[in-house]
Chains A and B, each alone.
Chain A
Amino acid sequence: MKDQLSALIDGEFDVASAEHLITSIQSGGEMESCWQHYHLIGDAMRGDRYLSSDFSARVMSALEAEPTVLAPKAALDNQIERKKSLFQSNQFWSIAASVAAVMFVGMMVLQQQLTSSEDMAPVEMAQIVPLEYIAAHQAAAPSGAAYYIQNVNANINSAGQ
């Protein structure tokens, strides 16, 4: 069934006989999340405009215009919104995922500030491995062999700390 879904998105499936697919997407659950993922992957590979350079600006304006975005769970329950347009909900999910990630980072920073406010002595560079700077450098360096290969390692290290 997922193969059929993929084919439907690629325009390689007869829409007239796809009613069972549409129904299963609308009923939510695994097929719906599948539908969202396939579209997100497609957007990323095509360089879709929703993922362009001013993406973050649009996230921020969407945040202002749509306070309910802050509670994606609640929005999920909003059946009327969902039935309105699958396309709209697709955009919405790309944005909601990013907003959730931003909130998560924000919380991490808050926690760090609370715990480290006492000791203000500088950290000697030799004692730490500043992976975030190395990753950011390698991500932007014009000749990059290291970035996508090494970052795997960086993530494992930081998760293990």
Chain B
Amino acid sequence: MFRLAFALTLSGFTLASFSLNSFAAEDDAWLVLQKAALAARELNYQGVFIYQNGNQARSVQITHMNDNGQELTRNLVLDNGLQSGQAREVFSQGSDIVIFHPQNDKIIIEKRRGQNLFPAMLPVNLQPLKLSYIARVGMLDYVAGRQAQIIELIPKDAYRYSYKIWTDTEYGLLVKMTLLNDKTETLEQIAFQEVNMLNSHDLNWFQPRIDASKNYVMEDAASLNRVHTNWIVAELPPGYIKVDHIELMVNGKASPINQMIFSDGIASVSLFIEPIVKGTRTKTGHKLVGSTNICANVINGYQVVVVGEVPLATVQMISKAVSFKKQTASNR
């Protein structure tokens, strides 16, 4: 009840301040986004959202609860084999994510960490975003039968796409987000089809549906932590910083792959570097898959691949910025 009251006061405050003057408009827009980032994590809600990328669409049922500061979420992917008990279930507790992924007669359990999942797409700290985007208050609209304020995130340069964010005017919750290219074509869209606040504190929903006839196995992709230092990325596109560096096993690869993740606060790019194994074909060139740009290069006997939901210029700039130090790389 307190949270609801808090949300109402905050929304009253932001709506009132919209009318003050146009100079304050950008601050207001950031304030709405700040509220959306918090609302997604603090409120208790249940709904169905649809994710569209390229020609693919998926609907997902979400239940989110903040249990005394501990965030619990269950996502159930509704499109694939729900009747046959083959639906994918995703649980998150704090920053830990566990995915139950049915595959033929097995259910593969995958573990992940620290991702901002819908509707908590915005980071709580918006400061990095302010370097690369201008926030602008847009029109009022309706999403899932609820009134929503549109906020536009407009990039300051050509190294990122723009975002349109719809937030519930009553609760502040992010209810819809689209990713647009420089021609204002929609590349990706994620939006609630229905959403309701939850009053109950019952946690019985937070458990996987167990199919006793299936084998449960942990995924084989285990992250390793050794880090090579014989390569450097000379110059990143403005606003991007390195947020992670991992080594991982990818299906079908004999040696671990170095993965560096760069982000400007909302858009992210992965850089993959792996030694070229004798007898395998290297990849070159670039491709757009849905909203994802991919660019591949060969540098000094290494396969370099850059992937991200960003313009082609961004993945190309990062792939060109990779160089290797003088001493010949040994794989061991």
Secondary structure class of chain A's binding surface, majority of residues: helix
Residue among A2, A36, A128, A139 with max Cβ neighbours from chain B (10 Å): A139
Are the C-beta atoms of B292 and A137 separated by less than 8 Å?
yes
Residue among A126, A129, A132 with max Cβ neighbours from chain B (10 Å): A132
Are the C-beta atoms of B212 and A124 separated by less than 8 Å?
no
Taken together as a complex, chains A and B put the C-alpha atoms of A121 and B97 apart, in Å, by 40
Proximity string of chain B (270-311) to chain A, C-beta cutoff 8 Å, 1 when within and 0 when not: 101000011111111111011010111010000001011100
Q: Which of A91-128 contact B (CB under 8 A)?
A: 94, 97-98, 101-102, 104-106, 108-109, 112-113, 116-117, 119-126, 128
Task: Please indicate the chain A residues that have their CB under 8 angstroms from the CB of B58 in the complex.
Answer: 149-150, 152-153
Of A55, A98, A125, the residue contacting B284 (CB under 8 A) is A125
Q: Is B225 an interface residue (CB 8 A)?
A: yes
Are the C-beta atoms of B305 and A133 separated by less than 8 Å?
yes
User: With contacts A119-B281, A133-B307 known, is A98 near B259, CB below 8 A?
Assistant: no
Are the C-beta atoms of B261 and A142 separated by less than 8 Å?
yes
Task: Please indicate the chain B residues that have their CB under 8 angstroms from the CB of A143 in the complex.
Answer: 115-116, 121-123, 263, 266, 268
By beta carbon, the residue of chain B nearest A113 is: B279
Are the C-beta atoms of A149 and B266 separated by less than 8 Å?
no
Of A122, A130, A139, the residue contacting B281 (CB under 8 A) is A122
Are the C-beta atoms of B116 and A126 separated by less than 8 Å?
no
By beta carbon, the residue of chain B nearest A156 is: B80
Task: Please indicate the chain A residues that have their CB under 8 angstroms from the CB of B180 in the complex.
Answer: none
Report the minimum CB–CB distance from B316 to chain A (whole Å).
12
Secondary structure class of chain B's binding surface, majority of residues: strand
Are the C-beta atoms of B285 and A125 separated by less than 8 Å?
yes
Are the C-beta atoms of A123 and B281 separated by less than 8 Å?
yes
Task: Please indicate the chain B residues that have their CB under 8 angstroms from the CB of A113 in the complex.
Answer: 254, 277, 279-280
Report the minimum CB–CB distance from B178 to chain A (whole Å).
11
By beta carbon, the residue of chain B nearest A119 is: B281
Q: Is A16 an interface residue (CB 8 A)?
A: no
Are the C-beta atoms of A117 and B212 separated by less than 8 Å?
no
Report the minimum CB–CB distance from A115 to chain B (whole Å).
9
Proximity string of chain A (49-79) to chain B, C-beta cutoff 8 Å, 1 when within and 0 when not: 0010111100100000000000000000000
By beta carbon, the residue of chain A nearest B116 is: A143
Taken together as a complex, chains A and B put the C-alpha atoms of A36 and B222 apart, in Å, by 21
Of A6, A125, A146, the residue contacting B295 (CB under 8 A) is A125
Task: Please indicate the chain B residues that have their CB under 8 angstroms from the CB of A152 in the complex.
Answer: 58, 77, 79-80, 88, 101
Q: Is A15 an interface residue (CB 8 A)?
A: no
Are the C-beta atoms of B248 and A34 separated by less than 8 Å?
no
Residue among B56, B101, B118, B270 with max Cβ neighbours from chain A (10 Å): B270
Are the C-beta atoms of B216 and A40 separated by less than 8 Å?
yes
By beta carbon, the residue of chain A nearest B114 is: A142
Q: Is B238 an interface residue (CB 8 A)?
A: no
Q: Which of A13-60 contact B (CB under 8 A)?
A: 30, 33-34, 36-38, 40-41, 44-45, 47, 51, 53-56, 59
Are the C-beta atoms of A140 and B286 separated by less than 8 Å?
no
Are the C-beta atoms of A129 and B216 separated by less than 8 Å?
no
Task: Please indicate the chain A residues that have their CB under 8 angstroms from the CB of B101 in the complex.
Answer: 151-152, 155
Q: List 25 A-B contacts (CB under 8 A).
A: A41-B216, A45-B93, A56-B222, A97-B217, A105-B220, A122-B283, A122-B284, A123-B284, A132-B252, A134-B294, A136-B248, A136-B270, A137-B292, A141-B115, A142-B261, A142-B263, A143-B116, A143-B263, A148-B88, A148-B97, A148-B99, A151-B101, A152-B58, A152-B77, A153-B56
User: A-side interface residues toward B, CB under 8 Å?
Assistant: 2, 6, 30, 33-34, 36-38, 40-41, 44-45, 47, 51, 53-56, 59, 94, 97-98, 101-102, 104-106, 108-109, 112-113, 116-117, 119-126, 128-130, 132-134, 136-137, 139-153, 155
Q: A132-B252, A142-B263 are in contact. List 13 more A-B contacts (CB 8 A).
A: A37-B210, A38-B210, A44-B98, A47-B96, A54-B225, A122-B281, A137-B269, A142-B268, A143-B266, A147-B112, A148-B77, A149-B58, A150-B53
The 5 A-B residue pairs with the shortest CB-CB distance in the complex, in nearest-first order: A56-B222, A101-B220, A125-B285, A137-B270, A117-B279
